[in-house]
Amino acid sequence: MFDLDNTLYPHHLNLWQQVDDRIRNYIVDFLKVPHDEAFRVQKDYYKRYGTTMRGLMTEHGLAPDDYLDYVHMIDHSPLTPNAALGAALEKLPGRRLILTNGTRKHADAVMRRLAVHEHFEDIFDIVAAELEPKPSARTYERFLERHKVDPGKAAMFEDLSRNLEVPNALGMTTVLVVPEGQREVFREDWELAGRDAPHVHHVTDDLTGFLNRLPARPRRPA
């Protein structure tokens, strides 16, 4: 199980910053507030609800469809094919699935730009999660139920420590993918925290290298 943004591609590309900016602009228009207040609302809801969208839905009755379309309308061209990542993914035993708080359309665009789409069986996005984002336990449960995954035979790769708490509790192996030296990518302290938490089993700043160092094993269903 792989998160998408800032996990399959490095933080320094700042792709997510485009989404972040569009979320803020949406809030300015939706709540009729200045940009500094939109920024405060955006980060407060993201931290408390898992996504800014969930906070806007809960506190302001946001209808999510237009929001999702707008915030993911970004330029994916900074991403380029990553043949090394594709080869490392292909060698993994079992199935490979995406679990993201973004949309399927966005995930598909990212994976195709990276040229890794053929290495994944499916995408479980925010719509499949019934608009309930990670780190909600119900989101992981829905994912496991839909894809018939045994958590004891699964691993979760994520860039946010808090999103690994439930996978750990369910019996998954957890891997935190957080490159060093990326504070310039507008990461808040709480987003960078948790590397030493007991629910984090492995930490890497190089996803491809980490996958390549895994011992080879025969393929088996998850």
The string of pLDDT tens digits covering residues 23-50 is 999 999 999 999 999 999 999 999 899 8
Q: Which domain holds residue 149?
A: 1-222
pLDDT at res. 212:
95
pLDDT at residue number 157: 98
Domain with 154 in it: what CATH number? 3.40.50.1000
Confidence at residue 17, expressed as pLDDT on a 0 to 100 scale: 85
- Identify the sign of the CA torsion 138, 8, 85, 214: negative
Mean pLDDT across the chain, nearest whole number? 90
Res. 196 pLDDT band, cuts 50 70 90: confident
For the purposes of burial, counting CB atoms within 10 Å of the CB of 152, is it exposed (0-12), middle (13-18) or buried (19 or more)? Answer: exposed
Burial track 59-86 (b if 16+ CB lie within 10 A, e otherwise) = eeebebeebbeebbebebeebeebeebb
* Category of 145 on φ-ψ map: left (φ > 0), alpha (ψ -120 to 50) or beta: alpha
Q: Is the pLDDT of residue 120 over 50?
A: yes
Task: Find the distance separating the first CA and the last CA of the chain, reported in whole Å.
Answer: 10
d(CA 155, CA 25): 36
pLDDT, position 47: 87
13 or 161, greater pLDDT: 161
For the chain, the domain total comes to 1
CB count in 10 Å sphere of residue 202:
12
Amino acid 187: pLDDT: 53
Residue 22 and residue 39 in contact, taking contact as beta carbons nearer than 8 Å: no
Residue 98's DSSP bridge partners are 2, 123
98: helix, strand or coil: strand
CA distance 125 to 104: 5
What global pTM score does this model have? 0.86
- What is the Cα–Cα distance from 178 to 188, expressed in whole angstroms? 13
The pLDDT of 49-74, averaged and rounded, is 93
Q: What pLDDT is recorded for position 217?
A: 62
Residue 41 CA to its chain's centroid (Å): 21
| Single-letter amino acid, residue 213 | R
* 93: Cα separation from own chain's centroid: 22
Give per-residue pLDDT as tens, 143-195.
999 999 999 999 999 999 999 999 999 999 999 998 755 444 445 555 566 78
Q: What is the mean pLDDT of residues 87-92?
A: 96
The whole-angstrom separation of Cα 208 and Cα 187 is 22
pLDDT at 178: 86
Determine the pLDDT at residue 184. Answer: 43
User: Cα separation of 173 and 160, whole Å?
Assistant: 15
CB-based contact 85:8 (threshold 8 Å): yes
Of 67-76, 84-93, 95-104, 178-187, the range with the lowest mean pLDDT is 178-187
Q: Is the pLDDT of residue 219 over 70?
A: no
The token pair that represents 216 in the structure block = 């080879």
